[in-house]
Amino acid sequence: MTNDSAPAPLPEDWTRALAVVAHPDDLEFGASSAIARWTGQGKEVTELLVTRGEAGIDSLGPGECAPLRMAEQRASAAAVGAAGVEFLDFPDGTLEYGLPLRRALAEAIRRHRPEVVVSINFREHFAGGSGFNHADHRALGPALLDAVRDAANRWVFTEQLAEGREPWSGVRFVAFGASPLAGHYVELSGDDLAAGVASLEAHEVYLAGLDGFDQKSFLPRAAAAAGEWAGVPLATGFEVFQV
């Protein structure tokens, strides 16, 4: 499920993180259990959704779907103690790497000034090698890594300086959950996992459209498998890029 090197605990000597993903429900397939652990330690974690998830439910048109999925994400974030949820307005399903996306992400990083940035897998495949990752995820990951560097550079997106967004070079690392190249892990307690399950279940309408998916067993199975890899009872894995 991961790379071949011995896994290391994800550093937790920080106080503020920004969790950035493409869609409502993305964080909830593993990373939200770690968010529950961190907020339980008193850390501040804010969630930033690049789209509103309007193309995610076949039976609902975008105008009806977006408000519903935004509400589900807010409930999901509350279940793990996130400090807040913000939404950008990029189009769901057709996200593209480019300057508009990098600019918006850099602005958010300069505004929130996180020490850690969290996201989900942007590789072509997930752990286990099954399926092909969503185009939005594959576009967001590289843009997010570049935006961390952009946010630190005074001479990139200089118009943001006039808006009071000073450069921010305080991001220590970016951690991507559910990656097939994970080399770090976060140990989870039973309470962390239960909060993660609750955060996933908050996406009730979205999950109802996933035939045969059992949200009650998915995260416990994944946490047990990651724990076996990490040498602890329960865990979730991350691929980490140092900044």
Domain count for the chain, please give it: 1
CB 2 within 8 A of CB 181: yes
Instruction: Give the mean pLDDT of 131-154.
Output: 97
Query: Distance (Å, rounded) from C-alpha 198 to C-alpha 137?
Result: 23
The pair phi, psi for residue 139, each rounded to 5°, is -80, -40
- 118 within a domain of the structure (yes/no): yes
Question: What does the pLDDT average to over 193-198?
Answer: 97
| Separation CA 34–CA 161 (nearest Å) | 33
1 domain residue, yes or no: no
For residue range 32-55, list pLDDT tens digits in order. Answer: 999 999 999 999 999 999 999 999
Residue 1 has pLDDT above 60, yes or no: no
Residue 86 contacts residue 39 (beta carbons within 8 Å):
no
Q: Is residue 127, in this structure, part of any structural domain at all? A: yes
SS3 100: helix
4 part of a folded domain: no
Give me the pLDDT at residue 63, please. 97
Asked if the structure places residue 7 within a domain, the reply is no
Domain that holds residue 102: 13-242
pLDDT at 2: 52
Mean pLDDT of 60-65: 97
d(CA 13, CA 2): 24
DSSP class of residue 90 equals P
Q: What is the pLDDT of residue 209?
A: 87
Residue 6 lies in a domain: no
Confidence of residue 195 (pLDDT cuts 50, 70, 90): very high
- From residue 75, alpha-carbon distances to 1, 28, 51, 57, 141 in Å are 30, 12, 17, 18, 25
Q: Which residues, in sequence order, are CB contacts of 180 under 8 Å at separation 6+?
A: 1, 2, 3, 121, 123, 125, 126, 127, 128, 129
| Nearest-angstrom CA–CA distance, 49 and 206 | 16
Q: What is the pLDDT of residues 10-37, one digit of tens each?
A: 999 999 999 999 999 999 998 999 999 9
Contact 120, 237 (CB under 8 A): no
The answer to whether 86 and 41 are in contact (CB under 8 A) is no
Lowest mean pLDDT among 119-123, 148-152, 205-209, 235-239: 205-209
**Contact of 83 with 120, CB cutoff 8 Å:** no
pLDDT of residue 214: 87
Q: Is residue 5 part of a domain?
A: no
Q: What global pTM score does this model have?
A: 0.96
As a whole-number percent, the residues of the chain with pLDDT over 90 amount to 91
The domain spanning residue 203 has which CATH number? 3.40.50.10320
pLDDT in tens, 197-209: 999 999 999 999 8
Residue 155 lies inside a defined structural domain of this protein: yes
pLDDT value at 5 more than 90: no
